[in-house]
Amino acid sequence: DIQMTQSPSSLAASVGDRITITCRPSQAIGTYLNWYQLIPGKAPKLLIFAASNLHTGVPSRFSGSGSGTDFTLTISSLQPEDFATYSCQQSYNYPWTFGPGTKVAIK
Amino acid sequence: QVHLEQSGAEVKKPGASVKVSCQASGYNFVSYGITWVRQAPGHGLEWLGWISPYNGNTNYAQKVLGRVTMTTEKSTNTAYMDLGSLTSDDTAVYYCARGNSMIRGGDSYYYIDVWGKGTTVTVSS
């Protein structure tokens, strides 16, 4: 199975900050990488698919990049509704695997 | 709009089985796969498997192979996940989700684009 690691595991930031989250799979996966936003009690939300494609309706402050074994999710200007946990996921092969998550908290 | 409605919370004893339902609306049910994912307390998301409502093909995670059965009912646009021989390690929020794909350069890039709100399953004696 492909192991997914994320860094940092958590971070504290302020509204308006630019933040970057890194995801590294244990083997190269091309651009078969997706990003999700998780908020307790709510349905998870797709943000980015195929490494850099913004899902319909997702604000343009979210962006994704990378390929192979190094991926990033960037939020250019944090908004109050962005304080959540972010998880990457590979769809290169089965079983699909997810990163452990990065919790973004209010500073 | 596209929506996945999941059944309510369950409390089960060790060794029992649980069946979670997921009713889809707002799209052609047979045109998209249904993926099941869970999140145990303090853990990340874990993929459990996938089913095609079109032909019933399935692909299960090795960890739950032999204990899980995923089915669909086209007449009601409903997917089911049945998990047996429950232990405390199965305590989690279980999500159903719609699989989608983008074709680019001859390759298919799969992702989960719509999620249900989750069903909490607690296994406790």
Q: For residue A3, what pLDDT is reported?
A: 98
Per-residue pLDDT, averaged over B5-33, amounts to: 98
Closest residue of chain B to A42, computed from CA coordinates: B117
CA of A79 vs chain B CAs: smallest distance (Å):
22
Confidence band for B106, pLDDT divided at 50, 70 and 90: confident
Q: Which residue carries 């089911």 as its tokens?
A: B80
Looking at every residue in chain B, the average pLDDT score rounds to: 96
Least Cα distance to A6 among A22, A29, A30, A25 occurs for A22
B/e letters for A38-70, b = 16+ CB within 10 Å, e = fewer, are beeeebbbbbbbbbbbebeebeeebbbebeeee
pLDDT averaged per 10 residues, chain A (length 107): 98 97 98 96 95 97 98 97 97 97 95
CA–CA distance, A8 with A48 (Å, rounded to integer): 19
Q: Is B104 on the interface with A (CB under 8 A)?
A: yes
Strand partners, A41: none
Confidence band for B105, pLDDT divided at 50, 70 and 90: confident
Indicate if the pLDDT at residue B49 is higher than 90: yes
Instruction: Give me the residue from A46, A87, A101 closest to B113, CB to CB.
Output: A46
Confidence band for B53, pLDDT divided at 50, 70 and 90: very high
Closest residue of chain A to B49, computed from CA coordinates: A95
Which residues in A lie closer than 8 A to residue B64 (C-beta atoms)?
A: none
Read off the pLDDT of residues B79-89 as tens digits, 9 standing for 90 and up: 999 999 999 99
At B115, the amino acid letter reads W
Read off the pLDDT of residues B57-79 as tens digits, 9 standing for 90 and up: 999 999 999 999 999 999 999 99
Write the burial class of residue A102 (CB in 10 Å: 0-12 exposed, 13-18 middle, 19+ buried): buried
What is residue A61's DSSP assignment? T
Indicate if the pLDDT at residue B104 is higher than 90: no
